[in-house]
Amino acid sequence: MTLAERKRLHRKFFEELGPTGKTLRDMFYAIPTVAFYMKDLDCRIMAINRRNCEICNIKDEWDAIGFKSSELFPSDYADVFMALDQEVIRTGKPVLHRVERHPADRSMQTVITNVYPLRNHAGKVVGTARAYFLAPDTDAPLSRYGRIRSVATYVEAHYDEAITIPQMVEMTGLSETVFKQTFAKVFSMTPGHYLTTIRLNAVRHMLETTDKLLSEIAAETGFFDQSHLSRTFKRERGMTPGEYRRKHRTISD
């Protein structure tokens, strides 16, 4: 779908919603601590605020408008996001204070979500609006996973070092089997995949904000070498590090 086509969808969506829809959008665009989006009946994003862009690693709002979650995120995340929207569209009832285990950036924080149906002037549901915020790590629903969270905290602080699964297991005092099962339950991925994801988050930030060589970035983010980083980045992100830098760089030439 071209940008022009997505802009037409966006315009028609807000024309159907009317002034109240635009006011709701503008209100959440002005709140820096709450992540927000609007979607149409096909679960295509029609509005997304800056906070949500930051969490989802989306550079600009128009990089998301007109796309479904399944086109922007891995299926294990997109399926959860879209199922919640579809539930609200199907029932016409809001979902309030839903606790989720992690936001789209795959960090370890708890998410508290509220999703409301959007209706036009005739009362027909035409989409959904979602607002969520990141709760403190000590939130009660996840307290039983404290030892797993401590591992994730360590990984986020030491991703540039050589971290092994046995080291992670030793930190928790659990058996390796229980550790892996519990970790997968919390983060919907293996510990190894989580470590790779955190490293790639750091890689993306460096590609966007520095002129460092890829070999330097690899050395600073825990990859064996430039080739290892390039292969992993291409597999996980669907583009090379160079392509990503050209598209998302924020520094001046």
Do 93 and 10 fall into the same domain? Answer: yes
Do 72 and 182 fall into the same domain? Answer: no
Do 117 and 158 fall into the same domain? Answer: no
* Measured CA angle at 69 (ends 192, 32), to 5 deg: 90
Assess contact for 111 and 102: CB atoms under 8 A: yes
Do 148 and 217 fall into the same domain? Answer: yes
CA 97 to chain centre: 19
Do 119 and 150 fall into the same domain? Answer: no
Do 174 and 196 fall into the same domain? Answer: yes
Q: Which of 18-27, 95-104, 127-136, 159-168 has the lowest mean pLDDT?
A: 95-104
3-state class (DSSP) for residue 73 = coil
Last residue of a domain, one of 135, 170, 196: 135
Do 107 and 159 fall into the same domain? Answer: no
Do 211 and 156 fall into the same domain? Answer: yes
40-57 pLDDT, tens digit each = 999 999 999 999 988 888
Query: What is the CATH classification number for the domain harbouring 189?
Result: 1.10.10.60
* Measured CA angle at 188 (ends 218, 248), to 5 deg: 40
C-alpha distance across the termini of the chain, in Å: 30
Do 51 and 173 fall into the same domain? Answer: no
Q: Would you state the pLDDT for residue 145?
A: 62
Rg (CA), the chain: 20
3-state class (DSSP) for residue 36 = strand
Q: Would you state the pLDDT for residue 143?
A: 42
Could you tell me the pLDDT band of residue 8, with boundaries at 50, 70 and 90?
very high
Q: Tell me how many domains the chain contains.
A: 2
Residue 134 φ/ψ, nearest 5 degrees: -90, 120
Query: Residue 218 corresponds to which amino acid?
Result: A
- Residue range 163-171: mean pLDDT, rounded: 94
> CB neighbours of 157 closer than 8 A, spacing ≥ 6?
none
β-bridge mates for residue 119, sequence order: 125
> CB neighbours of 56 closer than 8 A, spacing ≥ 6?
48, 64, 72, 73, 103, 104, 105
Q: Would you state the pLDDT for residue 185?
A: 75
Higher pLDDT, residue 211 or 56: 211
Last residue of a domain, one of 102, 135, 168: 135
Query: What is the CATH classification number for the domain harbouring 100?
Result: 3.30.450.20
Q: Which domain holds residue 213?
A: 142-248
| Structural domain contains residue 97 | yes
Q: Give the rounded percent of residues in the chain with a pLDDT score beyond 90.
A: 60
| Structural domain contains residue 113 | yes
Q: Give the rounded percent of residues in the chain with a pLDDT score beyond 70.
A: 89
pTM equals 0.56
60-79 pLDDT, tens digit each = 899 999 999 888 887 767 78
* Summary mean pLDDT of the chain: 87
Q: Would you state the pLDDT for residue 78?
A: 79
| Structural domain contains residue 24 | yes
Higher pLDDT, residue 135 or 43: 43
Could you tell me the pLDDT band of residue 155, with boundaries at 50, 70 and 90?
very high
Do 120 and 43 fall into the same domain? Answer: yes
| Structural domain contains residue 253 | no
- Residue range 195-207: mean pLDDT, rounded: 93
